Chain A
């Protein structure tokens, strides 16, 4: 149930679809996130998911995203991270209109991280003309030259294999993602509630990807392999007004277990935690706020903000006590809506790799 916090996490980033337009001639951000969801479809429990249809867009909901993070390694053991994100936001309710009248705005973020560098890029597009969009069958999500495409024969249950492409001024990558296990519905059968305010999202993940491909930085291509994680989420609900940001992690244990964790930082100091432990056999364990202890250890100053880039995490119920360190403490996404997102590794009671995202600092 508590995984519903995710809606808030991605919700803010989704809201930045328009805030992000500061990168274009639109100098000002878009504050539409606090607007009411009136006219958009509500998120209600008991939805039956249908694939591949649900891999495609849900324009009757206000916000939606396709979000992939990958922990990669080259032949010499050098570690990399890669991020590929496509956000959709509707600026007006109602059925999708034709051509330029279409009310969807798309935003893409892509990044590559190494110990010594962090490169990122963003892209904006309007729906309706083909510059950006998502098609469920055959699966294809794209904005400009970036894309995520289902490779024949694609498994709808696994949403695999996929080809992932992105490029910026000084980096690019092409990855092939494969998964032999089905995707995981988050929350209660994909209905991910925000417990206190009845705000919720539809949410599923594919944490089981293996990744393989080529990653290029400054025109030097490197063969890489590793693991990746996909999040799919859509909703119409705005962000809670008293939440200043969040700290979110996705962890791949060397044992094959997966863990999604976050804590919402609230104005009243009552940080709200949640998580889901996914065993290699596919069984999942929901974690409550009381189960999770997240303690910042080391702060990094980036653009006059103090960001906790090293964490101690303890979940006594699961006998977990680890310390998470960033691959690159300066994994700063200096996009129109800036946040920290980068690969991490952890050790302690468990070892493995993962991704950390922190916003609102």
Chain B
């Protein structure tokens, strides 16, 4: 033990003499761990929320019965099923308006609620009485209570009724209010109506469902994966991919720092062996040293990761809410597993990054071979080897592109492509530099190119990191920009009406319509309706569009049959959304059977339209046909065509006359702004991670250059000796670095565009179901090149300044010491 400690002390003394190297190593490990675990924290936070949501009173974890029509059903069915031996518990769900906010209201029945329904509120002892008997209690998550700006015990008002006093339930899912079933029926004005029946696990004799409920109810089997998880999978995969990328860039730094330290410590390792430290002991201590460093860096990285996640969480939560309606609490709660996993990933990453060095140490010959170092030969071998690997990676990318059919394979194409590009980069640089060398005439010029070539092996890892970070940046910004442009144009077409209204109920909708017909400024009333059903096992929306010229003129169709809008009129044709068409491989002329209350509704596909941002599949049919087929859907939505100067007055008149709030009546500009805002936040996380990655690549470049600077003195000293000033040497060094960085950047641009194409044509299609047109944005590319060069300049500044200010004595000593 003592021996190991002394050996460790000898190894550690290296870092004391080379603090910059230690800093590089730690920065690499810290950034790798921080970005990775930050992303994991976000994912974990979201997943925990989905779980809570799924477990709450009939999320998808519990088997349940719902009305075949999709509407509510009479409570009598609950009693009949219980009497027939079914262990069911009733739930009524709806929305109420509190303080201008629309909140989900759940009515539950605590006495029959199955034990298996996790996260159920614990209504203990006397609590049952106060929960069930009027006025009852309204259970609420602490986050929601804070959102509503109400205190526990307060009684809010909704729809003119006084709500039960609020009571906090810490494990409740946010955004939901839970009351007793009877109270919910009163508040939602749905006496004796239920939304679903949860089925307990209790076994026993039960009569067949049809014999009790006929075809009124439909059984939904429990699903281990929640709808939210399915829908948000791609979002999280995106995050994970970025986390992984940052992690690898961080490991690049670690790898180069460890590799350098190893090379520098080779003589020390040999001396240690010669002085009687056994190979096993030496390797053990090397691993121990690495693990201790990884432990420290891992802990710091986790703390940084926590802050990164905390900083990104609001945007992530907003995206998830905007895109999928998922409620994520705004403050991080982390499980112990997260900390353990973070430390583990730091240690594993460090070990992986150090694998080559450790293997070398294990095989370290005791006697140094006295061969002169034939760097050129070695470099050529290394370049050939890497290029072969690169070609293999490109082949894999091609194969995956051809045969792959999933989001994972999409990301794998990206990964293989970038790996290949990174591996081929040194060869590419070597070729460019040797062309430069051949063209050069002046002796200093020839040396410039030749020396740049020699530097390649030392700089290549940092340059690879720069390449990866840059190309991902180019790719992602191109994608976001393409999306943004397409989305805005599309939104213009989709939001065709000038004013949107959502009435509280059908009655009010009728009143509003009658009132609007009397208003001269209203050019057209466009009623809308929406039904939810299922197609091939997945939920879809059926949208009713009134037969009006405004849709024919504005509604953007990607593909359509002739006279598609006219074909919609009879009610036997539909437009399908792009994502649904892709998922079910539908094309114009195909037929689909949509389950409707009166039996299957067969529809001809006459058009395909873009439906960006909608995780569900959607079909659009004639509005009148929809109301015939789905008679129970609420008819509360409508759009209005109004001359724009008259819009504000009309909206305030509507608000005043019908008590509508901002959520229920909005003009087109507001809707557009809201949609754009949600959209923008969707990519803000990606953009932030992007910036982090570029920053990490910059650090990689800086540290590589710093470590390289010391080992390059022997090469520079002779030049200084033959009369080139230190200042000039520094400028030459700067130029060399900048030129390889520029070549790398230029290489990164087409690669980035390829990445963008992959994202748009493969990843997005698999992840979201839509394909966006591919645009190139030259100004953006120029700007990114500038950023990359600035990063390279910043990274090379410090070593170059050091060189320019170096004392002549230090250069002289090179000759004295170096042999």
Q: Do A and B touch directly, given a CB cutoff of 8 Å in the complex?
A: yes
Q: Tell me the residues in window 134-163 of chain A with beta carbons closer than 8 Å to chain B beta carbons.
A: 142, 144-145
Q: Does B111 contact A (CB under 8 A)?
A: yes
CB of A33 to closest CB in B, whole Å: 11
1/0 per residue, CB under 8 A from A, across B131-170: the answer is 0111000000000000000000000000000000000000
Q: Does A192 contact B (CB under 8 A)?
A: no
Q: Tell me the residues in window 69-115 of chain B with beta carbons closer than 8 Å to chain A beta carbons.
A: 75-76, 78-79, 82-85, 109-115
1/0 per residue, CB under 8 A from A, across B56-75: the answer is 00000000000000000001
Q: Does A92 contact B (CB under 8 A)?
A: yes
Given contacts A25-B114, A100-B182, A126-B132, A144 and B85 within 8 Å (CB-CB): yes
How far is B597's CA from A299's CA once the two chains are assembled, in angstroms? 63
Q: Which residues does chain A contribute within 8 Å of B117, judged by CB atoms?
A: 25
How far is B121's CA from A3's CA once the two chains are assembled, in angstroms? 42
Stretch of A75-83, A167-175, A197-205 lying at the B interface:
A167-175
Contact between chains at B110 and A169 (CB < 8 Å): no
Tally chain A residues at the interface, Cβ within 8 Å. 33
Interface of B is mostly: loop
Contact between chains at B125 and A92 (CB < 8 Å): no
Contact between chains at A124 and B112 (CB < 8 Å): yes
Contact of A91 among B76, B120, B129, B185 (CB under 8 A): B129
Q: Does B778 contact A (CB under 8 A)?
A: no
Contact of A121 among B84, B124, B191, B204 (CB under 8 A): B204
Given contacts A26-B110, A125-B112, A91 and B204 within 8 Å (CB-CB): no
CB of B61 to closest CB in A, whole Å: 14
Contact between chains at A144 and B83 (CB < 8 Å): yes
1/0 per residue, CB under 8 A from B, across A117-133: the answer is 00001001110011100
How far is B125's CA from A32's CA once the two chains are assembled, in angstroms? 8
Q: Does B450 contact A (CB under 8 A)?
A: no
How far is B180's CA from A26's CA once the two chains are assembled, in angstroms? 13
How far is B112's CA from A125's CA once the two chains are assembled, in angstroms? 6
Q: Does A225 contact B (CB under 8 A)?
A: no
Q: Which residues does chain A contribute within 8 Å of B181, judged by CB atoms?
A: 100
Contact between chains at B204 and A92 (CB < 8 Å): no
How far is B434's CA from A285's CA once the two chains are assembled, in angstroms? 120
How far is B202's CA from A23's CA once the two chains are assembled, in angstroms? 11
Contact of A145 among B76, B78, B84, B113 (CB under 8 A): B84
Q: Which of the listed residues A26, A28, A130 has the most CB atoms from chain B within 10 Å of its own CB?
A: A26
Q: Which residues does chain A contribute within 8 Å of B669, judged by CB atoms?
A: none
How far is B192's CA from A129's CA once the two chains are assembled, in angstroms? 9
Q: Which residues does chain B contribute within 8 Å of A91, judged by CB atoms?
A: 128-129, 132-133
Q: Does A50 contact B (CB under 8 A)?
A: no
Q: Does B122 contact A (CB under 8 A)?
A: yes
1/0 per residue, CB under 8 A from B, across A88-129: the answer is 000110000001110101000000000000000100111001
Given contacts A100-B182, A169-B202, A21 and B83 within 8 Å (CB-CB): no
Q: Name which residue of chain B comes closest to A35, CB basis.
A: B126
Given contacts A24-B110, A27-B122, A101 and B84 within 8 Å (CB-CB): no
1/0 per residue, CB under 8 A from B, across A10-53: the answer is 00000000100101111111111000000000000000000000
How far is B205's CA from A169's CA once the two chains are assembled, in angstroms? 7
Contact between chains at B180 and A30 (CB < 8 Å): no
Q: Does B311 contact A (CB under 8 A)?
A: no
CB of A106 to closest CB in B, whole Å: 9
Q: Which residues does chain B contribute within 8 Å of A129, judged by CB atoms?
A: 75, 78-79
Q: Which residues does chain B contribute within 8 Å of A124, judged by CB atoms?
A: 111-112
Contact between chains at A92 and B133 (CB < 8 Å): yes
Contact between chains at B82 and A125 (CB < 8 Å): yes
Contact between chains at A23 and B182 (CB < 8 Å): no
Q: Does B203 contact A (CB under 8 A)?
A: yes
How far is B631's CA from A215's CA once the two chains are assembled, in angstroms? 48
How far is B82's CA from A18's CA once the two chains are assembled, in angstroms? 19
Contact between chains at B205 and A167 (CB < 8 Å): yes
Contact between chains at B126 and A32 (CB < 8 Å): yes
Q: Which residues does chain A contribute within 8 Å of B82, judged by CB atoms?
A: 125, 131, 144-145
Q: Which residues does chain A contribute within 8 Å of B183, judged by CB atoms?
A: 100
Contact between chains at A142 and B83 (CB < 8 Å): yes
Q: Does B123 contact A (CB under 8 A)?
A: yes
Contact between chains at A28 and B185 (CB < 8 Å): no
Q: Name which residue of chain B comes closest to A100, CB basis.
A: B182
How far is B110's CA from A105's CA once the two chains are assembled, in angstroms? 11
Contact between chains at A24 and B111 (CB < 8 Å): yes
Contact of B115 among A25, A32, A101 (CB under 8 A): A25
CB of A165 to closest CB in B, whole Å: 11
Q: Which residues does chain A contribute within 8 Å of B84, judged by CB atoms?
A: 145
Q: Name which residue of chain A comes closest to B185, CB basis.
A: A100
Contact between chains at A92 and B111 (CB < 8 Å): no
How far is B75's CA from A12's CA once the two chains are assembled, in angstroms? 33
Given contacts A126-B111, A145-B85, A168-B204, A99 and B126 within 8 Å (CB-CB): no
Q: Which residues does chain A contribute within 8 Å of B202, judged by CB atoms?
A: 169
CB of B659 to closest CB in A, whole Å: 29
Given contacts A145-B83, A167-B204, A126 and B133 within 8 Å (CB-CB): no
Given contacts A144-B85, A145-B85, A167-B205, A126 and B109 within 8 Å (CB-CB): yes
How far is B199's CA from A136's CA once the two chains are assembled, in angstroms? 31
Q: Which residues does chain B contribute within 8 Å of A31, judged by CB atoms?
A: 125-126
Q: Which residues does chain B contribute within 8 Å of A126, judged by CB atoms?
A: 109, 111-112, 132
Contact between chains at A21 and B85 (CB < 8 Å): no
Q: Name which residue of chain B comes closest to A219, CB basis.
A: B205
Contact of A28 among B83, B122, B204, B206 (CB under 8 A): B122
Q: Which residues does chain A contribute within 8 Å of B112, judged by CB atoms?
A: 24, 124-126, 131
How far is B117's CA from A125's CA once the two chains are assembled, in angstroms? 17
1/0 per residue, CB under 8 A from B, across A198-235: the answer is 00000000000000000000000000000000000000
Contact between chains at B205 and A26 (CB < 8 Å): no
1/0 per residue, CB under 8 A from A, across B173-210: the answer is 00000001111010000011000000000111110000
Contact between chains at A26 and B83 (CB < 8 Å): no
Given contacts A99-B182, A130-B79, A144-B82, A24 and B113 within 8 Å (CB-CB): yes
How far is B131's CA from A103's CA once the two chains are assembled, in angstroms? 11
Contact between chains at A26 and B122 (CB < 8 Å): yes
Q: Which residues does chain B contribute within 8 Å of A99, judged by CB atoms?
A: 182, 185, 191-192
Q: Name which residue of chain A comes closest to B184, CB basis.
A: A100
Q: Which residues does chain B contribute within 8 Å of A125, judged by CB atoms?
A: 82, 111-112
1/0 per residue, CB under 8 A from B, across A240-255: the answer is 0000000000000000
Contact of B128 among A26, A100, A172 (CB under 8 A): A26
Q: Which residues does chain A contribute within 8 Å of B133, judged by CB atoms?
A: 91-92, 101, 103
Contact between chains at A26 and B204 (CB < 8 Å): no
Contact between chains at A21 and B204 (CB < 8 Å): no
How far is B202's CA from A145's CA once the two chains are assembled, in angstroms? 13
Contact between chains at B78 and A172 (CB < 8 Å): no
CB of A337 to closest CB in B, whole Å: 14
Contact between chains at B113 and A30 (CB < 8 Å): no
CB of A31 to closest CB in B, whole Å: 6
Q: Which residues does chain A contribute within 8 Å of B85, judged by CB atoms?
A: 144-145, 167
CB of A83 to closest CB in B, whole Å: 17
How far is B127's CA from A30's CA once the two chains are assembled, in angstroms? 9
Q: Which of the listed residues A130, A145, A169 has the most CB atoms from chain B within 10 Å of its own CB?
A: A145
How far is B200's CA from A124's CA once the two chains are assembled, in angstroms? 13
4 smallest beta-carbon distances between A and B, as pairs: A100-B182, A28-B124, A25-B120, A25-B113
| Apart from the given pairs A25-B113, A25-B117, A101-B134, 6 other A-B contacts in the complex at a CB distance below 8 Å | A23-B115, A91-B133, A99-B192, A121-B204, A131-B82, A131-B112
Offer 27 A-B interface pairs, CB within 8 angstroms, sorted by A. Answer: A24-B110, A24-B113, A24-B114, A25-B113, A25-B114, A25-B122, A26-B123, A27-B124, A30-B128, A31-B126, A32-B125, A32-B129, A91-B128, A91-B129, A99-B191, A100-B181, A101-B133, A103-B132, A103-B133, A124-B112, A125-B111, A130-B76, A130-B83, A131-B83, A144-B82, A145-B85, A145-B206
